[in-house]
Amino acid sequence: MRSNIRRETAALPRRRTHKVNKNEMRVPEHESKRTSGMSVREAGQKGGQTVKQKYGPEFYEEIGRKGGLATKQAHGHEFYEQIGKKGGKKGGEATRDRYGPNFYERIGQKGGQRVKQLIEEGKRAAAAARQKRAS
């Protein structure tokens, strides 16, 4: 039985694939040529618009809520803590790599100066209010 399968599959033509980037899937050459004039992205957008017209924008809210509840039930509270920590760490590292380690010092100083300015403005406003009440 097994040898029959081998003979049958050996007779089938092999699909040839073309080279693609690491992030792309391998697509057989005969399927890679666009025949309809629409890309996968465009088709996805068109499908999304059709669903939105048919079911309304609330549909996306509902399926998002259901997906969130399913994830919560499957993974629990700890799952969200873990992905939050990973995301925060990745974001911090990306910011450090993009702007350099001195970036945090600069934005800290700007923030401190802004707080000082707001305190001064608050003191001036309070003093003006006291003077207004006194007169």
User: pLDDT tens across 6-23, in order?
Assistant: 455 455 555 555 555 555
Asked if the structure places residue 59 within a domain, the reply is yes
Asked if the structure places residue 117 within a domain, the reply is yes
Q: List, for residues 35-74, the tens digit of each pLDDT value.
A: 668 899 999 999 999 999 999 989 989 999 999 899 889 9
3-state secondary structure 86-97: HHHHHHHHHHHH
Higher pLDDT, 72 or 125: 125
Asked if the structure places residue 114 within a domain, the reply is yes
Residue 128 main-chain phi, psi, to 5 deg: -65, -40
- The residue range of the domain holding 110 is 102-135
pLDDT of 25 over the 80 cut = no
Residue 6 main-chain phi, psi, to 5 deg: -60, -45
Asked if the structure places residue 126 within a domain, the reply is yes
Asked if the structure places residue 86 within a domain, the reply is no
Higher pLDDT, 114 or 134: 114
Work out the average pLDDT over 110-118. Answer: 96
Q: What is the domain count for the chain? A: 2
- Taking the CA atoms of 57, 58, 62 and 68 in sequence, report the sign of the dihedral they define: positive
Distance CA 98, CA 104 (A): 12
pLDDT of 4 over the 70 cut = no
The pLDDT of residue 29: 55
Asked if the structure places residue 56 within a domain, the reply is yes
The pLDDT of residue 1: 45
Asked if the structure places residue 11 within a domain, the reply is no
3-state secondary structure of 17: strand
**Total-model pTM:** 0.35
Asked if the structure places residue 69 within a domain, the reply is yes
> In degrees, to the nearest 5, what angle opens at C-alpha 32 toward C-alphas 26 and 33?
170
